[in-house]
């Protein structure tokens, strides 16, 4: 076995030992499409919180949806990625699309924006990969980038949970909790896979 083959063999052993995890939760059970927010929450929310939350959601909804074009771009080079990375990425996409749907429902009941309008807004978005191409060059770089991005999401969703989500009832608050937990797992999964590269340092 050559030195390179030996290194690859060690990495595949480490990959099989990597602990990739997923937070399992049921969006339909927590926030069904028919969910109606009691107007009391909006009336009783501290001054400015409702309008700021609407503004925040108007951005967050679509950035969660952006995960699909990013995934599609990465998959054009899937032949260069390890099976463990691709498996982790599938779980990641599943979660991010659930976040997209969870935030669509949240935005709908908090701000009254209808789903067709959200579809129009999202379809009009331009997904520019060029500015981030340099952080998508290979699996190692993507994992490092992912760690930074996901820990940033943990931090901001945790702050938003305290500042906004918790004022609008148990279901919305739980959505906020799951967002924090899922993003934390994305960070930890990227870190786990990155550790398997240590054999190549």
Q: Contacts with Fe ion in 21-40 (CB under 5 A)?
A: none
> Interface with Fe ion includes 50 (CB under 5 A)?
no
Q: Contacts with Fe ion in 54-93 (CB under 5 A)?
A: 64
Stretch that binds Fe ion, among 109-117, 125-133, 140-148, 186-194 (CB under 5 A): 186-194
Q: Contacts with Fe ion in 108-137 (CB under 5 A)?
A: none
Task: Report in angstroms how near the CB of residue 60 gets to Fe ion at its nearest.
Answer: 9
Burial 44-56 (b: 16+ CB within 10 A, else e): ebeeeebeebbeb
Task: Report in angstroms how near the CB of residue 108 gets to Fe ion at its nearest.
Answer: 18
**From the list 60, 139, 160, 183, which residue makes contact with Fe ion (rule: CB under 5 A)?**
183
Of the candidates 155, 167, 63, 161, the residue with the CA atom closest to the CA atom of residue 110: 167
What's the sign of the alpha-carbon dihedral 96, 102, 107, 110? negative
Task: Report in angstroms how near the CB of residue 122 gets to Fe ion at its nearest.
Answer: 15
**From the list 99, 104, 105, 108, which residue makes contact with Fe ion (rule: CB under 5 A)?**
99
- 14 vs 163 by CB, closer to Fe ion: 163
What is the size of the binding site for Fe ion (CB under 5 A)? Answer: 6
**From the list 11, 50, 104, 186, which residue makes contact with Fe ion (rule: CB under 5 A)?**
186
Interface contacts to Fe ion, rule CB under 5 A: 64, 96, 99, 150, 183, 186
């Amino acid at each position: 076995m050559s030195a390179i083959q030996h290194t690859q063999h060690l990495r595949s052993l480490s990959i099989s030992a990597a602990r990739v995890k997923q937070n399992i939760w049921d969006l339909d059970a927590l926030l069904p499409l028919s969910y109606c927010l009691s107007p009391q929450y909006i009336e009783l929310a501290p001054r400015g919180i409702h309008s700021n939350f609407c503004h925040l959601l108007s951005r967050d909804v679509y950035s969660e949806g952006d995960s699909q074009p990013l995934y599609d771009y990465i998959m054009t080079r899937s032949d260069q990625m390890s099976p463990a990375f691709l498996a982790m990425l599938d779980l990641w996409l599943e979660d991010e699309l659930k976040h997209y749907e969870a935030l669509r429902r949240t935005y709908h009941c908090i701000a009254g924006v209808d789903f067709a309008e959200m579809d129009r807004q999202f379809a009009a978005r331009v997904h520019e990969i060029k500015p981030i191409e340099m952080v998508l060059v290979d699996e190692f770089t993507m994992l490092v980038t992912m760690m930074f991005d996901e820990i940033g999401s943990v931090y901001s969703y945790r702050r938003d949970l305290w500042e906004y989500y918790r004022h609008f009832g148990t279901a919305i608050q739980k959505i906020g909790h799951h967002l924090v937990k899922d993003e934390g797992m994305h960070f930890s999964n990227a870190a786990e896979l990155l550790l398997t590269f240590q054999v190549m340092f």
